[in-house]
Amino acid sequence: MTSPAPESNSILSLPDDLLMNCVARVSILYYPTLSLVSKSFRSLLASPDLYKTRSLLDRTESCPYVCLRLQSRENPSWFTLCRKPDQALTNMKKKPKPSGYVLAKVSIAHPPPLQSSSLVAVGSNIYNIGGSNPTSSSSLSKFDCMSHTWSEAPSSPVEMFTASAGVLDGKIYVVGSCEDEDSKSLKDTFEVFAYNPKEGKWHQVIMCDYTDSNAYCEIENVLYSVDKLFYGIEFKWYDTEVSRWRRMEGLVLPGTPTHHVRLANYGGKMAVLWEWEEEHLTYSWGGDKKKIWCAVITLERRKNRGIWGKVEWFDHVLTVPGTCALQKVLVATV
């Protein structure tokens, strides 16, 4: 029998540069699990140098972040998609093999209040337009998806109400009503401002109508949305050539969704998260709970036949209290 390997031969005994090079090659989907190994790993995974190494090695990935409000009066909780270790299944004939994806909670000290329509992701950061007051504010806060910390960013030049934000060409476009200086009431039109993260500056753009961006996403210059039907979730896309919405072919997700279905551009694919209440699911101390489901859909544009969707995988990724509300899904690049 051979003696156990000494501690000096463990992976943590490797030189820092070599260890960082190894971890940088691991998929970001395994980082939540790696953070549980030790304090040293948690520190390494929050290091900016690790993500610089990932960039140099061309290992950057799209990473979904999910914002949930577990209780109505609580600040939101954040989760990220991760891979769980492979597990053997005992009854494969009755149960399909799970995808292996789950939502892992992100530890964040003092997350700020927010409204879901004011959250956007650019690069490795998530921006919250609204700061401490989600209904009226000019402030801007930034969530670093590498270190999982919030910080303040330059404020908007104008106080905005009912703000909704989106991203185009790496710039953040914010639509919101503004107060009329003479009447002290809200203007009927909406101001549009663009924030350039690279410059750290705001720019006024145009006036336009307000729209909620929660249940929409843009992928390769095509706008997608969903219809919640009795028998499942149906997808549609906006055809700019004929100026109307069209049904996506070949795809309807099963289940009966509740109020919240959220879409996001997941590296050219579509990430879909939705709530699915099941009456028989109850906590041991009473009260309903529901499941959060996730699907990743590949998209194909066929000549003269519209856009077809194919489910790459879908699975139950988290069980939450019945009071939980799915707020937003954002995809950062880390």
Which own/partner pairs from 299-305 qualify as long-range (CB within 8 Å, at least 24 positions apart)?
Answer: 299/219, 299/220, 299/268, 299/269, 299/270, 305/249
Q: Please tell me the total number of residues recorded for the chain in this structure.
A: 334
pTM equals 0.82
Residue type at position 330: L
Contact at 8 Å (CB) between 245 and 236?
Answer: yes
Q: Which pLDDT score is estimated for 281?
A: 47
pLDDT in tens, the chain (334 residues): 455 544 444 666 678 888 899 999 999 999 999 888 888 888 899 999 999 999 999 999 999 999 998 876 678 899 999 998 665 444 444 455 677 899 999 988 877 777 777 889 999 999 988 654 544 456 788 999 999 999 988 877 777 665 677 887 788 877 766 666 666 665 544 556 688 888 888 877 654 444 445 678 889 888 898 877 666 778 889 888 888 888 888 877 765 555 688 999 999 999 999 887 655 444 444 457 888 999 999 999 887 768 999 999 989 999 998 888 898 999 999 9
Q: Which pLDDT score is estimated for 258?
A: 55
Contact at 8 Å (CB) between 275 and 216?
Answer: no
Contact at 8 Å (CB) between 126 and 120?
Answer: yes
**C-alpha dist (Å) from residue 313 to 16, 99, 225, 230:** 37, 6, 19, 22
Contact at 8 Å (CB) between 154 and 145?
Answer: no
Q: Which pLDDT score is estimated for 89?
A: 43
Q: Which pLDDT score is estimated for 48?
A: 92
Separation CA 268–CA 65 (nearest Å): 16
Contact at 8 Å (CB) between 218 and 120?
Answer: no
